[in-house]
Amino acid sequence: MRKIDFIGNSLSNVTVDPLPYVDDLLSCYQSLTDLPGFILLESTDQIRGRYDIVSAYPYDHFKVERDAADLSEVFHQLQHRLPLVTSSSDLPFQGGAIGYIAYDLGAQLAGINVPAHPGLASMPIIDMQFYDWAIVTDHHKKQVHLVAANNQPQTRGLLHDIRRRWYQHASTNRSFTLVKPFSPLLSRQAYQQAFHAIHHDLQRGRAYQVNYTQPFLAEYRGDCWEMYKRISRKNPVPFSAFMRAEQADILSFSPERFLQMDNKHLLTSPIKGSARRSENPQEDERLRAELAASTKNRAENVMIVDLLRNDLGKIAVAGSVQVKTLCELQSFKAVHHLVSDIEAQCLDSVSLLQAFASCFPGGSITGAPKLEAMHIISEHEPFARGVYCGSIGYFSLHGRFDSNIAIRTVIAKENTLFLAAGGGIVIDSTWEEEYAECYTKIQAIVHEL
């Protein structure tokens, strides 16, 4: 065990204890899933993502209900719970908050209120729990560390049990059954009507791009951790998550980073442009080449890149916003995507939560311009989005955070699975292609069940 010295507020006794790196990390993580407040942020592709972060036994809870009277100070209140310290370690999480911030928070702060689906109406719009320890897996170095901030008196008492569970490798499968498959809540005709209304708004110049989504429902019984394992192993993506919240299990299989801040360096990686995969190699390569050459999809991506450059420019050192990659083609299990990377250096005066709030929600799931696209979305989507299209991630006490765009995300509540999918509509979109794209995007989840 080695000690990491801190200079700053209250943490001065952080310890880092190595654990064995194993091929089947999910079996080790499974041994912790019955602990209160279990949460896993997993980079299952081990290429574009680097770290897994797993924890349990939160010592504090920051929760905001969707009917809260005043939301204007929520990011400030959350930041107040994260006193900044300085660390000599490069591990991403060293005590702090992990959880989700729902898309609906951004909508409500913009004055947009849409009723939630009745089954999700009781879900908070912020659910962040505070953890004093975590197991951090570095896939690039193939190392696992048990990190303890030792800021809470109960931490040392927990670590012995955590180590014991890690070594026992709980590999037994649990029961999970899909009782009724996913079915859309919007008819094909209703989707078509909404598309044409949005397209009319685009034609008259109200927006340039609108990300329209549709919801799906299924029924299940059993433990959703088993569902997570099935999909995670077959559909590796950089920004997966599994969270046992008070009211629901949250399973995210997101390929998309929303925003990262590391030593004041900001990175956002929007996805815009998608094409299905094919099991036939020649056909798959054709689909890949068509996406890479698609003027329409590249234009969609560039629109969102410009939006995010503007978002970052509000909090960045002048001249530091740079597009590092534009429309890079990345392939996942069921879909090809165009991905861009935009970087910037954050102003010293801007806190973690201020940086996050300035860009939230992500432009890739709103459209452009952001605020008007969000208003158009609210006029046509039948329910509030909730966690979907929000963000799941961590905020570490040493000034680092990372977060996903909560797409390909399932909420499991009272034996019902809530899922949604969508895409960006632009002036030359067709409703048939956009409708089909929704099903392409959920294929990697639905196929494994």
Burial class (CB in 10 A: 0-12, 13-18, 19+), 164: exposed
Residue with tokens 């420019």: 313
Catalytic residue among 272, 370, 413, 441: 272
Contacts with 394 (C-beta within 8 Å, 6 or more apart), sequence order: 41, 53, 92, 93, 96, 97, 98, 401, 402, 403
Q: Is 256 a catalytic residue?
A: yes
Q: Per-residue b/e over 425-441, b at no fewer than 16 CB within 10 Å?
A: bbeebebeebbebbebb
Query: Would you say 63 and 124 are in contact if contact means Cβ atoms under 8 Å apart?
Result: yes
Catalytic residue among 256, 300, 343, 381: 256
Structure tokens at 191: 């989707």
- Tell me, rounded to whole angstroms, the distance of Cα 206 from its chain centroid: 28
Q: Per-residue b/e over 250-289, b at no fewer than 16 CB within 10 Å?
A: bbbbbbbbbbbbeebebbbbbbbbbbbbeeeeeebeebbe
Give the bridge partners for 323, in sequence order: 342
Query: Would you say 257 and 405 are in contact if contact means Cβ atoms under 8 Å apart?
Result: yes
Structure tokens at 416: 């019902």
> Within 10 A of 10 (CB to CB), how many other CB atoms are there?
11
> What does the CA dihedral 132, 135, 139, 144 come to, rounded to 10 degrees?
120
Report how far residue 72's alpha carbon sits from residue 105's, in angstroms, rounded to the nearest whole number.
Answer: 10
Report how far residue 112's alpha carbon sits from residue 93's, in angstroms, rounded to the nearest whole number.
Answer: 33
Output the CA–CA distances (angstroms, integers) from residue 259 to 37, 153, 406, in the order listed.
24, 32, 12
> What does the CA dihedral 444, 274, 249, 139 come to, rounded to 10 degrees?
80
Q: Is 272 a catalytic residue?
A: yes
What are the residue numbers of the active site? 256, 272
